[in-house]
Amino acid sequence: MRIVFHIGMGKTGTTSIQHALANSTTALANQKSAYMGMWFDAIDPAYGGLQGFSRFVGEADEKKILSAEVFHRYLVDRAEKEGIETYIFSNEGLFQAGPQLELFFSTLQAQGLSISFVVYLRDPRAWLPSAYTQWAIRHKTNEGPVQDFPTAARRLITQYQMIRFWRENFGTALKVKPFDSSLDVIQDFAGILGLDLPKSDTRRLERAEPADTLLRAMFNTRFQDKVLPDEFDRFVTNSSSAPPPSLQDMAKRCFNHQAAEEIIAEKRELFEYIRDNIGFDFFDEEPRPSNLPDDTELQRRVIDYLVEVTFDQAQRLKRLERLIYDHMGK
């Protein structure tokens, strides 16, 4: 019996892998395998979902040891009942949470469970723009206004530091694979597992149009606190009396990635470590130009979005007026 943890990194096809696994229950069962999902709710229902995962990561050491023992018993019992030989768990949040969960994983290993970890590394030139859109704009993870690319990218690039932890603590159990946009990551992951997953022509890419990204940046920058993506979906409204920044200024902030080379150079020692110890030489890659959206097309698409938003808001207001009038008996 073994368990394979797919731990990230984020923005390396993790959603595609998770979607494929979740929709391959029968195919996996026929191969004596099972997908465990993203959360540790098999240990405790309180560990389900994003908040539950954060709760699990933050538990005390004693609770981590107990959780590992409970988890191990669960896996053994299920294996005996269902004949499962391979368990698969996928959560890109594990990559960053490694130090907090080291005791949990080492306890599992100490109980004789065959455990392995799979991580995909992406050229930072491609990863930084994608990560910036996801965690500096769509999900604003910093306090204050939306940060420009150089500021946020210097914060985000530190995620690569975690490869040191995983290699130095779980080296023999760690499998590191390169990722790029041409990779069929689902079939590549299936090859690592030694399993067959159904082929699909559909790739789940969490990639928004520039106009959508820009509107979210304009919305999220109005809030001092961190902003989840669904805030924009639910509220798209004027939340501040301060004058909005210009679209052109915000576009330059969001889509100018020319600082990537400088930021990568600042972490040269880290990427030399990856080259010398992992075998991926990102220094051989050519600099990538910023794909700045065309101003005219961007403005046109922003207007398209605003028209739809306006109509949707008008319909909501009309329904609300009717409810109020009906309640007042008019």
Residue 118 has pLDDT above 90, yes or no: yes
C-alpha to C-alpha distance for 309 and 330, rounded to whole angstroms: 29
C-alpha to C-alpha distance for 134 and 208, rounded to whole angstroms: 10
How confident is the prediction for the chain on average, in pLDDT? 92
DSSP 159-201: GGGHHHHHHHHHGGGEEEEEE-TT--HHHHHHHHHT------S
Residue 170 has pLDDT above 60, yes or no: yes
Decide which of 204 and 22 is more confident. 22
Residue 325 has pLDDT above 90, yes or no: no
pLDDT digits (tens, 9 = 90+) for 120-131: 999 999 999 999
CA count, 13 A, side-chain hemisphere, 244: 14
Q: What is the pLDDT of residue 326?
A: 82
- What value does the mean pLDDT take over residues 216-243? 79
H or E element at residue 256: none
pLDDT digits (tens, 9 = 90+) for 264-312: 999 999 999 999 999 999 998 888 888 888 889 998 999 998 888 888 8
Domain boundaries, the chain: 2-123+180-193, 125-161+208-260+288-330
pLDDT band at 162 (very low <50, low <70, confident <90, very high): very high
Q: Which of 181, 141, 139 is nearest to 158 (CA)?
A: 141
